[in-house]
A and B are shown apart, each in its own frame.
Chain A
Amino acid sequence: MKLPARQRTTRDLKSLQRLMTATLMRPLTGTNRLQGRWTDGRTMKAVAESFIKPNDRLTSIERLQIYARCYWFRLIDSLYEDCPGLRAVLGDKKFLRLAEAYLARYPSRSFTLRNLCRRLEKFIREEPRLTAPHTALARDVVRFEWAQTVAFDGEELPPLTADDIADHPPTRLRLGLQPYLSLLALDHGADDFVIAVKKQSEVRTDASNTPTAAPHAAKLRHVPLPKPGRVYLAVHRHDTLLYYKRLEPAAYRILRSLQAGRTIVQAVAGVRGVEPDKLQAWFKNWVELGWLCRPG
């Protein structure tokens, strides 16, 4: 990529910004330095010198490296904060390797770091070697941790009222679920595991300061990895606090059906052997928790 000597247009500006972004988003070496070679075979030194001025204390590549480090330190720090469970599953070394590979393939596409983990489960599925032999557990844990992010600040619609269901026969009545509610069918008890790992929950926030050093997240408590076993979960919030609730398989299936837009009759018909009293108690509980709303 050759830059024009003078910048006259927005296209010229974009060329410069593309080049700098590409250099920053290239993974650093093990000693947190820019790699020696650029993608076209030129030295990184030559690439940096092509667009960044040196000064009397720092070379062009040293100045570029300050930004590259800030980029990687900031984003990996954010993953540390949002994924303590995954880190506990993999250990620091493997977690870091996964984080770098993830960010290299899926750079942030959002204005907020809140969404940084959105595609992490997909990436783990695509690259199972990076989490082997704990890939299934890693996926479960990441799904649970992302569900917590959604539950923390996801949208809340007005809860269902008696008026909403009046005059609707059950054969035609459809109910929505709150957008902040995630329903998970997991192969491990990721919920208890992550809660045990978290000593305290810090909320990640965006700011305009500059990170000074590589992430040095606090040591995590050692927690035995959970054994395989099917778990159905609802991750939600109540009065702004995060909760998770284990569900019976039939309850999970009914909620999933409602979420998929089926009528109450269709949702309930999809499960067998549930006593009417139990069904009634589930629905009562879901209404009390504010999970049900008008369909979107």
Chain B
Amino acid sequence: MPANRFNAFTDYGIGIGLRVPHYRHILDKKPVVDWFEIISENFMVDGGRPLEVLDRILEQYRVVQHGVSMYFGSADPLDRTHLKKLKTLVRRTKTPWLSDHLCWGSVDGNYTHDLLPMPYTFAAARRTADKIRQVRDYLEVPICVENVSSYAEFHVSEMTEWEFLSEVVELADCGILLDVNNIYVSAKNHGFNPYDYINGVPHDRVGQIHVAGHTKFEKYILDTHDHPVLDPVWKLYAHAVRLSGVTATLLEWDDKIPSFQEVHDEALKANEFIDGARAAKKPAPAAASR
């Protein structure tokens, strides 16, 4: 499924996040990059340098929008002002699909600016799916929802996280942005098998994959995006592309950001696993000649 209806039938390859410390390098050197992912909120402004930089990037590169504050899982209704600003940006970037997180982070209009975990209940799944549908219908682009890393679970949960993710995306008929680092972090924090998670989601709905680094503490792991990708996460990535097919892949690096080249080189390591997945799918020459 390299191209499916959840990523607008594109085959984008390997991208990296567009981050401020790299602006100068990208604009001056114009390095070859398959695509950039932007954090939508950083460009949902009315003018000034952010939009000027974005327009120059759009002249040269393919850009996909990724949000951090839609809060599909919040009980609050959708914020119309937020949606209008987002639609303006969608028209500007012509993003082929748009992603945000399967989480909540605001209530009664007060924002935590965090990606808080959902209670995995059928009622929450219905509410969340309904909001995803509303957003997709308003923005008129395919939506992929991303699994978040989490550090707490609720007593009221009625299913596993991957069952909840599957329930939501089936009800909403939307795509999945599968973050394999988040799966690894949550698996360690909650004691489940990350392969059960990847095996358990609808693979034909995966429109994009995220990889990232994390930080280990004594009793838990934090999703810090400030390191290279660790080996167990690359292994999960390889497993995910075997099941879902090779799809748009993005490395997130948001703190202690090294040079552009270092970040891009780290992202391109995904090629090794993509090649492996492609080779595994290709029939052997002898078999092919029959």
Residues of A near any B CB (own CB < 8 A): 3-14, 16-18, 20-21, 24-25, 50-53, 55-58, 60, 62-64, 66-67, 70-71, 74-75, 107-114, 151-156, 179-180, 202-203, 205-210, 212, 237, 240-241
Contact = CB atoms under 8 A, between A and B. Distances in A.
Interface stretch (B111-119, B235-243, B275-283): B111-119
B41 interface: yes
A210 B47 contact: no
B158 to A, nearest CB: 8
A112 B41 contact: yes
B123 A208 contact: no
B280 to A, nearest CB: 31
Contacts of A153: 45-51
Lowest 10 A-B CB distances belong to which pairs?
A: A155-B46, A14-B75, A153-B45, A209-B225, A153-B48, A207-B254, A63-B152, A111-B69, A240-B49, A209-B254
A111 B219 contact: no
Q: How large is the interface on B (under 10, 10 to 19, 20 to 34, 35 or more residues)?
A: 35 or more
Given A154-B48, A212-B222, 9 more contacts: A13-B119, A53-B153, A56-B191, A58-B219, A64-B152, A67-B151, A112-B69, A207-B254, A210-B149
Interface in B152-192: 152-156, 189-191
Contacts of B127: 10, 13
Nearest to A21: B107
A8 B158 CA distance: 11
A10 B121 CA distance: 11
A209 B40 CA distance: 15
A20 B116 contact: yes
Contacts of B264: none
B140 interface: no
Contact of B119 (A7, A55, A111, A203): A7
B39 A206 contact: yes
Given A209-B252, A209-B254, A212-B224, A75 B113 contact: yes
A50 B79 CA distance: 30
Nearest to A64: B152
Contact of B39 (A3, A20, A110, A207): A207
Contacts of B149: 210
Nearest to B108: A18
Nearest to A3: B156
B69 A24 contact: no
Contact of B68 (A50, A75, A109, A207): A207
A170 B131 CA distance: 52
A7 B124 contact: yes
B226 interface: yes
Contact of B156 (A5, A151, A206): A5
A90 B50 CA distance: 31
A145 B104 CA distance: 31
A210 B46 contact: no
A3 B225 CA distance: 34
B138 interface: no
Nearest to A157: B47
A2 to B, nearest CB: 13
A155 B112 contact: no
Contacts of A155: 46-47
